Amino acid sequence: MVQFTRGPFPATRPRRLRANAFSRQLMRENTLTPHDLIFPVFVLEGTNQREAIASMPGIERLSIDLLVKKAKHLHSLGVPALALFPVTPSKVKSLHGDEAFNKDGLAQRAIKSLKDAVPELGIMTDVALDPFTTHGQDGIIDDSGYVLNDVTVDVLVKQAISHAEAGADVVAPSDMMDGRIGAIRGALETHGFCNTAIMAYSAKYASAYYGPFRDAVGSAANLKGGSKANYQMDPANLNEALHECALDLQEGADMIMVKPGMPYLDVVRRVKDELAAPTFAYQVSGEYAMHQAAAANGWLNGEAVMMESLMAFKRAGADGILSYYAEAAAELLNR
Ligand code: PBG
């Protein structure tokens, strides 16, 4: 008969420290707080207007007055900043997207109202032409539909300056044109906005996860299946993300961003490890939509996956997360 003796095996029992709440707390390597979150918001013309977005259950487009109320609430929850996206009426869209730098445009008015009402809350703006062009591309196109780099950058610079003049704290170019960070940084300095920060959408992939966002801002119909693959990055690439991030930092970006989020956490980790710069990730509309759809069907526990998914960004090395869950998660964390 074989004798089993109770020897030293297993020498280490990792489960020992998982056995009680106190030791799980002591062992926890990462934390998520409302201060890690940036809430993307969609702003509408009019007063007292709110519209549901079918593909983003729980998120609404709001007119400026209602957005101001929302902003106060987010500030009280400890969320440091909003990312503002205008829903541009089709009558002001044009081939060249000149509405983008209208001093009295919707985005510019929203920035002013938000800064007047809640000055401590950071306001970050989207610098790109897609809400303003009749074709839904992020820049100015030639006759073949190709997005022209350098003429687009000239317009992006005007747009960024108009946001800074309105009071934006952070401008966030999401267009992926070459050289736009340097051009915008230079113009901000010469216009006296040396403390207006730039968060660069540096590693922005040509992703199908942006679908619900394009519904939300009303650029999907204009884009008509058009692709952004000749300026946004190929989802197959990782080294190129480092190259893009390094270029944007060299050109003067204060913060870099990886987008989408969850399918690209390997990119977040690599960028953070190699460049050690302030690094953000965007949990985009399609990621939110997937979670919400599964939760609505009872297939996933909505609150639990919300918190787990946000923590995953912290574990991957993100300093902060743009997420449509920012409000709900901050509410839960304040409970
Ligand atoms: C446009 C822009 C997009 C998003 C942010 N800015 C869409 C796109 O590039 O087509 C996507 C955000 C999301 O899906 O939540 N410049």
Averaged in consecutive runs of 10 residues, what is the pLDDT profile of the chain (335 residues)? 68 94 98 98 98 97 98 98 97 96 98 98 98 95 96 98 98 97 98 98 97 90 86 98 98 98 98 98 98 98 98 98 98 97
pTM higher than 0.90: yes
Which residues on neighbouring strands pair with residue 42, listed in sequence order? Answer: 61, 85
pLDDT at position 2 is: 63
244 is in an annotated binding site: yes
Tokens describing residue 156: 């992006």
Q: In whole angstroms, give the CA distance from residue 115 to residue 163.
A: 12
Known catalytic residue at 204: yes
Verify whether ligand 1 is closer than 6 Å to residue 174 (CB atom). Answer: yes
pLDDT of residue 218: 85
pLDDT of residue 4: 61
Catalytic residue among 70, 115, 259, 314: 259
The yes-or-no answer on residue 112 being catalytic is no
* 37 burial via Cβ count (<10 Å: 0-12, 13-18, 19+): buried
SS (H, E, C) the chain: CCCCCCCCCCCCCHHHHHCCHHHHHHHCCCCCCHHHEEEEEEEECCCCCEEECCCCCCCEEEEHHHHHHHHHHHHHHCCCEEEEEECCCHHHCECCCHHHHCCCCHHHHHHHHHHHHCCCCEEEEEECCCCCECCCCCCCECCCCCECHHHHHHHHHHHHHHHHHHCCCEEEECCCCCCHHHHHHHHHHHCCCCCCEEEEEEEEECCHHHHHHHHHHCCHHHHCCCCCCCCCECCCCCHHHHHHHHHHHHHCCCEEEEECCHHHHHHHHHHHHHHCCCEEEEECHHHHHHHHHHHHCCCCCHHHHHHHHHHHHHHCCCCEEEECCHHHHHHHHHC
For ligand 1, atom 14, which residue shows the shortest CA distance?
210
Query: Quick check: ipTM above 0.95?
Result: yes
CATH of range 31-334; options 3.40.50.2300, 1.10.287.1080, 3.30.70.20, 3.20.20.70: 3.20.20.70
128 lines ligand 1 (CB under 6 A): yes
The length of the chain in residues reads 335
- Output the CA 224–ligand 1 centroid distance in Å: 15
pLDDT at 225: 73
Residue 31 Cα to ligand 1 midpoint, Å, equals 27
Where b means 16+ CB within 10 Å and e means fewer, 95-134 reads ebbbbbbbeebbbbbbbbbbbebbeebbbbbbbbbbbbbe
Closest CA to 261 of 293, 237, 286: 286
As a dihedral over the C-alpha atoms of residue 127, residue 60, residue 71, residue 99, rounded to 10 degrees, the angle is 30
pLDDT score, position 68: 98
